[in-house]
Amino acid sequence: MQLNYKVFGEGDPVLILHGMFGTLDNWQTIAKKLAEHFMVFIIDLRNHGRSPHSDEFDYTIMANDIREFMENNWIYEAHVVGHSMGGKVAMQLASEEPDLIQKLAVVDIAPKTYKGNHQTIFEALFSLDLKELESRKQADQLLQEKIDSYSVRQFILKNLSINKETQHYEWKMNLPVIHGAYQHILDKGNLSAPFEHPTLFIKGAQSNYILPEEFETYKTYFPNAVLKTIEKAGHWVHAEQPKLFLEVLTDFLLN
């Protein structure tokens, strides 16, 4: 699968993988700053952004997409950064192909299975009649009935685009497949052999996706892992505290 991507800078390669409902655009600001030190690739995972859609959608398949991406771009080894679902893709790749990853940074997600908390969002998205939709503003007003958070609505609405042929709105993401695979997305993946290379887990202080009291159990899969917490940040650490996030990530990757 030919994944959509953008690249910035020169130097050792860094791959950045977004979370569920996300796109590479969510990471463009961070990528441009990191590009002062590295060649940074931001990538749309399958069924997201401008990458192809497919009925096949699990962590093993997505990790293989990244392995193929590296081969196609002559990348033999890279630092890999993954947020949320993208962090689980990164961990899966590290488990299966450890020699491809020099350093691994996992942003606000853990190697464990989660209970779902996106059902209201899915219901809101499926409730939109895209053929009748006239504007993003109207979409925001309709979503507001089920999604209180303005920032979450704006994050979701970045997935809306206009089909040039029909002139109707459509989702860039493959919403039905993502919804159908949601239980798998919550799963920890098929982690097997420990990844021995340096690993950084970055936690938003106001997020409960990573629990410090569980951190020692993460070392079953990532024995050389360390945990850094970003204050005054929730799950979208990189968007809420970009300066602090960049300082922590850059220091890890450079040293």
Torsion, Cα 112 94 212 154, to 10 degrees, reads -80
- Choosing from 48, 83, 235, 238, the catalytic residue is 235
Rounded Cα distance between 227 and 56, Å, is 33
CA angle 223, 245, 222 (to 5 degrees): 10
Distance of CA 166 to the CA centre of its chain: 30
Angle between helices 59-72 and 85-96 (to 10 degrees): 70
Residue from 195, 190, 196, 5 nearest 113 by CA? 190
**89: how many CB neighbours lie within 10 A of its CB?**
29
Asked about 127 being catalytic, the answer comes back as no
Question: Which H/E stretch holds residue 235?
Answer: none
Assess whether 84 carries a catalytic annotation.
Answer: yes
d(CA 97, CA 34): 24
Distance, CA of 253 to CA of 81 (rounded, Å) = 10
Please check whether residue 30 is in contact with residue 238, taking contact to mean a CB–CB distance below 8 angstroms: yes
- Which of 18, 48, 51, 84 is catalytic? The answer is 84
User: Cβ(249)–Cβ(202) under 8 Å?
Assistant: yes
Amino acid at the residue 140:
D
Q: Which residues are catalytic?
A: 84, 235
